[in-house]
A and B are shown apart, each in its own frame.
Chain A
Amino acid sequence: MTAPTAPNDGLISPDLPVLTRKDFVTDQEVRWCPGCGDYSILAQMQKMLPELGIARENIVFISGIGCSSRFPYYVNTYGFHSIHGRAPTIATGLKTARPELTVFVITGDGDGLSIGGNHLLHAMRRNIDLNIVLFNNRIYGLTKGQYSPTSEFGKITKSSPYGTTERPLNPIRIALAAGATFVARSVDRDTKHLEEMLYRAAKHRGVSFVEVYQNCNIFNDGAFAAFAEKEVRAERMIYLEHGKPLRFGKNNEHGIRLNGFTPEIVENAESDEGLLVHDAHAENITLANILVGMDYPEFPVPIGVFRDVDAPTFDQLVQQQVDEAIAKGRGSLEEALRAGETWVVE
């Protein structure tokens, strides 16, 4: 008897389905608080999924625990609502075993960066072809309002009545440091941008990490309002586009340039000359790291794709080793049992 061939190989539907947003809606009542930013992320995801041309049965959503992690119940694909912080591990096992599937990981700032920080780090370092979406509301929503690893220093919450004494993590910086090959940021309010980021993340081969600034209107209302509201967005956010100079403002009138390693604002920059040009495809992460250091109110907040590079994926490399070994001769159980020295007793 020889080694098995994967029995699921045949399960992938060959024809590209024509699907609509509605095909990705489940019969479950959505249980987020009215006004929660999670609704927008769900809506953009459901709008984006049909564009991928992938059959529903070949898409899997895996989440941890948190308000955000309820997500899979509302998407009509395969879904796995797992345990706190561990979604990347389950997704890693699934994607490694079944590289042909499209796998999303849905996580929160607590789920992904506190309890599950290590898994997130390693999933990104391995460049496994997962689409990781981190809903960053800078608070623990589900447990009703404690500070999270992304809460601002000094923040007053239920568990920090005198203000936190911890400094926050920047999720994008973590992703860059871990070597993620696709790193992007968007906000719940900017639906078009969000949908585009989700689409590009899904299309990227290798690990994709998308941080979404998400408003928790119950426990951390307005966390991003100062720069993400429609009226101020153009002035206070800067949209990163590969190959383009960094510009912002109502009429794109301002720019960003570098002074040594420090970014500075060039108000009313008439020409693009001297402005920083975004390079999302750079192997070197220095530029992306400088950009991620820009924050409101000193700077406009960068959103968009920080990094988008190509590299072999973990799941493919594992599959390749298996394929190559099998090509040299599929394992025979009889032979494996008789490996090494044997002797016969009559």
Chain B
Amino acid sequence: MTTETQLKPEHHVEELERVTIRFAGDSGDGMQLTGTQFTRTAAVFGNDLATLPDFPAEIRAPAGSLPGVSGFQISFASTEIYTPGDRPDVLVAMNPAALKTNLGDLKPGGLLIVDKDEFEPTNLKKAAYESNPLEDGSLAGYQVVPIAITRQNELALEGLPLSAKDKFRCRNFYALGLILWLYGRTLDTTIKWATEQFKRRPDILEANLRALRAGYNFGETTELFRVQYRVPPAKVPPGTYRHISGNEATALGFVAASVLSGLPLFYGSYPITPASDILHELSKLKNFGVKTFQAEDEIAAIGAAIGAAYGGHLGLTGTSGPGLALKSEALNLAVMTELPIVVIDVQRAGPSTGMPTKTEQADLLQAMFGRNGDSYVAIVAPCTPSDCFIMAIEAFRIALKHMVPVVFLSDGYLGNGSEPWRIPDISELPRIEWKYAEPQEGKFNPYLRDPKTLARPWAVPGQKGLEHRIGGLEKSGETGDISYDPRNHHEMTLARKAKVDRIVDDIPLLQVTGPEEGDLLVLGWGGTYGSITSACENARKRGLSVASAHLRYLNPFPANLPEVLKRYKKVLIPELNTGQLALLIRGRFLVDAVSFNKISGQPFKIAEIEGKIDEVLGLRDEYVLEFTRSAGVSGG
């Protein structure tokens, strides 16, 4: 034993099932990177996890200001988990503004690590603190660990030929090293990543690694922490895993659809938060034959996707809510011409520009009805970040087989959130069926429908003898020529609707988790899967008769939905909108569903849904949402 190890204080090791940490700092402090690196380490270690990045709205808000705070929450566990956690157990606050905007979420008694060097008068003033919270006793309810991160980081980097500013920017690695130590993790994953990342900047690499190790060693040598924690790996199905965000999974899913179908992918898009990453990802994948087109606006983006689909390729376009609004007229052209395009909507808080960096699921009715005329499209919605991969394939599987536009409703929470993902075997993936038109007897009729699916033939330019004209004007179902015939329009409208309805035979039944029948069904869709599933699990642990079901197919609904709804005394529909699915369910099935709504730009907390469940089951008074001054306010 060396003398050095003898000097190390004894750390008691405590095992935990689940921990939620939030890293918060100024947008210049690299908190997203810290969070991502911690996430990768936890993922490689084998924890189940979920993350919630929370960016400020401003790209460069003034340093140290409240609107400039950026946060990243990760929950990791030795059991299966579905959400990034309601409230963090640990808050790392790199400056007073980060403390101010995030403290409200920290669990009572939670661990609060702050960079005490940053709590000086200027920064305190920027964060509108009248007195220093580290000194005025206002943090008494937490385990506060003030650390001189800035100064210690400086010391660790002493002598390196970097500017003071560059050195300051390594503080996040110091903090990361410390937290990695606290949870008994190795530095390997981060070192490997940094070595690759800073290949061309050995000076920066050296500085970051020094900071990382200094933070780690500080944890080991200080007496500030009496306990070191262990969160054992989760028991998850065997396989090869990776870490994936919803937007990455979306991009990969559409590439997979291209590979599985053998049709090249065309992606038209106009940059918009939080969908732009899909464009970034796809534009890298040219070796898959992917052609990306950054259009002049969202209308051009969908127009181009329609053009590609008309040409017999996979026509894809992607946007967020305001962009979907712009696309509606062209989407109707795809409805009318019955071309198989897919439209991604990574929903964000609206209306109008709303809160671009915040999540919401309020475009369901826009997707369903937001067009002139009786216009039907198929709608799918992934329920977790990795589910985006499967639902992307599903979107094109449906579009191509049924010759129908499909809207893919993701959201900011799914798109930016991430989780470990068991990489599927290609053979497990859905099959994609499609065919181009075959010659017909006599003049080619582009509306000669498949008797089973009602899909029209897909005749693409280049096919000899199938020259035909399509367009937005109503066409005769018999000849394909323009028609104003009353009966024809009636029948064509019904046929377009029936074509979408018949997809029901081609999609899986709705799965129920929990009792087959009982007191309450909690029905959800999209990104709320995690919190609903967890809340219902908790309710069942408390002996309540509560089941949950999650809709990934929203038009048409799965065949067994009406029957599932009937098996429960009550139905609760939590949504991050004012009750859009609830409106559809009530209208379609005459079910007196209770709607539970949150429109704050933040996902549901598990406790919120549990609170509502208890209310609906008569176990408590009315449940009222509480809005803490949380990271959700960091956009100012």
Contact = CB atoms under 8 A, between A and B. Distances in A.
Interface string A333-344: 110111111111
A93 B461 contact: no
Given A101-B462, A333-B255, A333-B256, A56 B308 contact: no
Given A118-B297, A331-B287, A341-B40, A83 B329 contact: yes
A338 B287 contact: no
B189 interface: yes
Contacts of B305: 93
Contacts of B307: 62, 89-97
B463 interface: yes
B306 A98 contact: no
Nearest to A1: B259
Interface stretch (B119-127, B309-317, B396-404, B493-501): B309-317
Contact of A81 (B262, B288, B424, B472): B472
A80 B333 CA distance: 11
Nearest to B292: A318
A73 to B, nearest CB: 5
Interface in A1-44: 1-8, 11-13, 26-28
Contacts of A2: 259
Interface residues of A, number: 74
Contacts of A153: none
Interface string A50-86: 0000011111101001000000110011111111001
Contacts of B315: 93, 97
Given A79-B468, A82-B333, A346-B238, A98 B286 contact: no
Interface stretch (B93-101, B150-158, B240-248): B240-248
Interface string A161-195: 00000000000000000000000000000000000
Interface stretch (A252-260, A286-294, A304-312, A322-330): A322-330
Contacts, number: 249
A57 B461 contact: yes
Interface in B324-379: 329-330, 332-333, 337
B464 A101 contact: no
A96 B266 contact: yes
Contact of B311 (A3, A94, A337): A94
B285 interface: yes
B462 A58 contact: yes
A166 B465 CA distance: 48
Contact of A89 (B295, B463, B466): B295
Given A8-B312, A83-B472, A97 B264 contact: yes
Contacts of A86: 299-300, 303, 330, 333
Contact of A3 (B259, B313, B422, B481): B259
Contacts of A7: 262-263, 312
Contact of B464 (A13, A79, A83): A13
- Of B46, B291, B337, the most chain A CB neighbours within 10 A belong to B291
A199 B489 CA distance: 39
A82 B303 contact: yes
A342 B311 contact: no
Contact of A326 (B241, B289, B461): B289
A338 B240 contact: yes
A171 B397 CA distance: 43
Nearest to A77: B467
Contacts of A1: 259-260, 426
B531 interface: no
Given A12-B462, A57-B465, A346-B238, A93 B308 contact: yes
Given A6-B289, A89-B330, A337-B423, 14 more contacts: A1-B259, A60-B461, A79-B467, A79-B471, A82-B471, A83-B330, A86-B300, A93-B315, A96-B266, A118-B300, A119-B299, A322-B289, A322-B291, A341-B192
11 contacts: A7-B312, A11-B460, A79-B470, A80-B310, A82-B333, A83-B330, A92-B295, A96-B308, A97-B313, A98-B312, A342-B241
Interface of B: 40, 43-44, 46, 189, 192-193, 233, 236-243, 252, 255-256, 258-264, 266, 268, 285-291, 293, 295-297, 299-313, 315, 329-330, 332-333, 337, 422-424, 426, 443, 460-473, 481-482
Closest 4 CB pairs of A and B: A89-B303, A93-B307, A81-B471, A93-B304
